[in-house]
């Protein structure tokens, strides 16, 4: 009798960046944090930011490597992605050369290999020349390099298109992308709007803010439209200057734009800010994006990345509980996609 293969689907987890407030306040050390994640069932994938989690980074000691691997084994979790950085302005006197930047990334790739991470998150600061220099090491270790696409960029932004062209020329299977859901939002987070008001924006400008955010054009163009609307109502620019970050931090590309790079997706940042009483993310269509990933055959890790700490104080909410609810929302999208596939197979 033929056996039925389990459906292929993304694997869930989180990035420890979601627990920034708790980490920097000392609520958890590394072991208690790993234990809490395991107990809450928000694994199995664990992503960390190298420079935020490991004091010696980009180097890692043999003692840390052993303790890290032992921790994950003990609590039955899996390393999903190591977020690495290229700090082009590391020196005071000049920017790093390509050789220096490549060396900086190579040290981080070495550490990712020692720690057992199959993927690293890179950033747009890595030029095509730097990428080409580090690819042989990534290939040697079998580590995939996922350049993050984060708001205000999208899959078809000029800067991303240049990276896609560079990838095509280099032609390595380890090169890919890490989409961040902040690029494909349909609304500004309600909590962020309240924070803007708390920090000085008049409440009567909320409708103008939302209207400007939904316009076409660059983030600066749309902010200028909002500034003009505020000025027309008698508000000085200094009373709304802090709102400009909302046009850069929250992108409004279409969810379907991710389809262009799905074959090159090696890791996913499932960014979210809030979960409402109905169990939805009020500014991001999480189920739709998860369906797109399933339909595109993505079976890698999806890291829940709560970034509400940009407008929430420590202890104001419990990010662990929020991530649990977020995972339920993600599974809703996965299950909907799998059900559609099953219905299609039956009808075919």
The catalytic residue positions are 150
Q: Under 8 Å CB-to-CB from 162, ≥6 apart: which residues?
A: 128
The strand ranges marked E within 67-181 are: 78-83, 119-122, 144-149, 175-179
Cα separation of 305 and 45, whole Å? 12
CB 148 within 8 A of CB 176: no
- The answer, yes or no, to whether the previous bond of 44 is cis (omega within 30 of 0) is yes
Q: What is the DSSP letter of 67?
A: H
Q: Under 8 Å CB-to-CB from 211, ≥6 apart: which residues?
A: 229
Question: C-alpha 334: how far from its chain's center?
Answer: 19
According to DSSP, the residues that pair with 303 across neighbouring strands are 13, 269
């Amino acid at each position: 009798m033929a056996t039925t293969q389990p459906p292929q689907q993304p694997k869930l987890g989180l990035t420890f960046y979601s627990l920034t407030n708790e980490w920097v306040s000392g609520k958890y050390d590394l072991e208690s944090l790993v234990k809490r994640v395991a107990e809450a069932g928000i694994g199995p994938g664990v992503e960390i930011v190298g420079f935020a989690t490991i004091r010696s980074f980009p180097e890692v000691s043999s003692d840390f490597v052993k303790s890290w691997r032992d921790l994950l084994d003990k609590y039955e979790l899996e390393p999903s992605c190591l977020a690495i950085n290229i700090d082009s302005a590391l020196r005071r006197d000049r920017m790093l050369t390509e050789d220096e930047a490549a060396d900086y990334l190579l040290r981080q790739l070495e550490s990712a290999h020692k720690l057992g991470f199959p993927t690293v998150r890179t950033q747009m600061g890595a030029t095509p020349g730097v990428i080409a220099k580090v690819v042989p090491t990534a290939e040697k270790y079998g580590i995939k390099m996922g350049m993050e696409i984060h708001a205000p960029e999208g899959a078809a932004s000029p800067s991303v298109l240049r990276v896609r062209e560079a990838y095509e020329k280099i032609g390595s299977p380890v090169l890919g992308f890490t989409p961040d859901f902040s690029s494909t939002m349909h609304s500004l987070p309600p909590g962020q709007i309240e924070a803007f008001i708390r920090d000085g924006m008049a409440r009567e400008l909320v409708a103008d803010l939302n209207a400007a955010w939904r316009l076409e054009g660059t983030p600066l163009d749309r902010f200028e439209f909002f500034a003009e609307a505020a000025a027309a109502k008698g508000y000085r620019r200094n009373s709304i200057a802090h709102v400009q970050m909302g046009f850069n931090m929250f992108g409004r590309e279409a969810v379907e734009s991710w389809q262009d790079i799905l074959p090159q997706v090696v890791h996913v940042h499932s960014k979210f800010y809030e979960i409402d009483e109905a169990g939805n993310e009020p500014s991001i269509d999480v189920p739709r994006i998860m369906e797109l990933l399933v339909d595109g055959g993505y079976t890698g890790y999806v890291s829940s990345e709560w970034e509400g700490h940009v407008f929430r104080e420590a202890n104001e909410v419990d990010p662990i509980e929020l991530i649990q609810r977020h995972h339920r929302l993600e599974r809703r999208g996965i299950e909907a996609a799998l059900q559609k596939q099953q219905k299609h197979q039956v009808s075919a």
